[in-house]
Structure 1
Amino acid sequence: MDLGLEGNAALVAASSSGLGKAAATALAREGANVVVNGRDEQRLDDAVAEIREVGGGDVVGVSADLTDPDAAETLVERTVEEFGGLDHLVTNAGGPPSKSFAETTEREWYEAYDLLVMSVVRLVREATEHLQADGGGSVVTSTSRSVKEALDDLVLSNSVRMSVVGLEKTLSRELAPEVRVNAVLPGAHRTERLEYLVQNAVDRGEYDTYEASLASWTDDIPVGDLGDPEEFGNLVAFLLSERASFVNGEAVTVDGGSGRSNL
């Protein structure tokens, strides 16, 4: 299916690895021009090179730390400078520490809010005027399935990410009809973030081996496997495209059916 994204300008936050990189890759493959973002310049350069190999659009890397209040302005301005506008925004950020409530410090609560919520606020605020121009654009914010079902030892993600979905739903009404806004709620995918969580469980003594810890992630997934980041990226690209023009204000769970929430 041709998503009609060729020549569009897209900014994907935290996209030098993981699911953010998968989203940027899918957009570039569809012919969109994409700004890829990350903090580690070497990893960012590597990601840009990889995405250029599979994409038809132009790919530019911009180093910025999303917890820096000036990062959003830098990213949006660079996108507009490079591509002459901004049609699509994907907000995304690395996950907070895996801890229980008792282990989590007050500082970590504020850091998680700054990373997961304020990065979205700043990016959308900077991007809105550009997204509304020339017929309108679209936003997808990547959060986690933990907003629907609390996960063990992820108190920060369980609590703070819910604010992003509340913001997404509000924006879907305030920015319409020019701009559509949706959220994706990924479950367990084959990413470096998952590897971190798997190893963390071993370090806490919950499992004897890495393999046993990894198996625990697939035991309760009805489809029997972890998610493929490429498929996740394809979903993000679809939601951003005009092929999803009547999809607005939705929070789409992508977890292989592992969640037990009815909504």
Structure 2
Amino acid sequence: MDLQIDGNAALVTASSSGLGKASAKALAREGANVVVNGRDEAQLADAADEIRAVASGEVVEQPGDLTEKEDIEQLVERTVEEFGTVDHLVTSAGGPPSGPFLETTDEDWYEAFDLLVMSVVRLVRAAEPHLREGDGGTIVNVTSRSVKEAIDQLVLSNSVRMSVIGLEKTLSKELAPEVRANAVLPGSHETSRIEELIEQSMDRGEYDSYEEGLDDWADGNPSERIGDPMELGEVVAFLSSPKSSYVNGTAIPIDGGSGASNL
């Protein structure tokens, strides 16, 4: 399917690894010009090279910390400088620390809110004039299935990410019809983070092999596996395209059916 985004300009945050990188790769493969972002410049350069290998558009890297207002403004400015506008904004960010409620501090809560919510607020604020300029600006927020079902030991993610969904729904109305806003809610995907957790478990003797660890992560999933990051990336690309022009204000689980929520 031709998604009709060839030559469009996309900014994808936290795209030096994981689901952000998969989203950037899917957009670049469809012909979009993409700005990728991360804090580690060496890792970001490697990710950009990996994306260029499949891209039919241009790929530009811009380092930056999503908790820094100035870095966010520079991300948008660099995208406009390179490509003239911002047609598609994909917000992704690393997860806050795990742990139970009683072990979290005020500082933990403020840091999680700054990373997960204020980064989106600042990105949309800076990108909004450019998103409105084109024929179909889009925002896709990569969050987590934890907004539908609280996950044990993830009180910060469970609580704070829900604010992004409230913001996404509000934006889908306030910025329409020029700009559409949607969210994707990933379950477990085979990212470098999952690989790291499985390898740590193997070091502790909890698994005899990496495959056993993957099977454990997939336990209870009707699809009998965890996701490939590109499966989520392709949904992000679809939501950024005219092919999804009547999809607005939605939050789509990408979890292989593992969620127990009816809605």
TM-score under structure 1 normalisation?
0.95
SS where residue 98 of structure 1 aligns?
A: coil
CA–CA separation in structure 1 for the residues paired with 2:99 and 2:137? 37
CA–CA separation in structure 2 for the residues paired with 1:249 and 1:200? 38
Aligned pairs for 1:156-235 within 5 A: 156-198=156-198, 208-209=206-207, 214-235=214-235
| Number of the residue aligned with 1:28 | 28
Shift in Å, 1:213 = 5.5
Letter matched to residue 233 of structure 1: G
Greater Cα shift, 221-230 or 132-141: 132-141
- Conserved 8 A contact 1:72-1:123: yes
Q: Which runs of 4+ in 1 moved over 6 A?
A: 199-203
CA–CA separation in structure 2 for the residues paired with 1:237 and 1:134? 17
SS where residue 131 of structure 2 aligns?
A: helix
CA–CA separation in structure 1 for the residues paired with 2:116 and 2:190? 21
1:150-205 per-residue CA deviation (whole Å, 9 max, x = no partner) reads 111111111110000000000000000000000000000001232455567789x9
Aligned pairs for 1:94-109 within 5 A: 94-109=94-109
Aligned residues: 261
Letter matched to residue 163 of structure 1: S
Aligned pairs for 1:1-263 within 5 A: 1-198=1-198, 208-209=206-207, 214-263=214-263
SS where residue 77 of structure 1 aligns?
A: helix
Shift in Å, 1:214 = 4.5
Gaps of 5+ in 2: none
Letter matched to residue 206 of structure 2: D
Greater Cα shift, 20-29 or 97-106: 97-106
- Conserved 8 A contact 1:95-1:193: no
1:49-106 per-residue CA deviation (whole Å, 9 max, x = no partner) reads 1111100000000000001111221000000000011100000100111211122222
Letter matched to residue 60 of structure 1: V
SS where residue 138 of structure 1 aligns?
A: strand
CA–CA separation in structure 2 for the residues paired with 1:93 and 1:59? 19
CA–CA separation in structure 2 for the residues paired with 1:128 and 1:228? 31
- Conserved 8 A contact 2:214-2:226: no
CA–CA separation in structure 2 for the residues paired with 1:114 and 1:24? 23
- Conserved 8 A contact 2:136-2:242: no
CA–CA separation in structure 1 for the residues paired with 2:200 and 2:99? 9
Q: CA separation of 1:151/1:248 partners in 2, compared to 1, >3 Å: closer, same or farther? A: same
Greater Cα shift, 228-237 or 101-110: 101-110
Shift in Å, 1:209 = 3.6
Identity of aligned residues (%): 65
CA–CA separation in structure 1 for the residues paired with 2:168 and 2:46? 31
Shift in Å, 1:127 = 0.3
Letter matched to residue 53 of structure 2: E
SS where residue 89 of structure 2 aligns?
A: strand
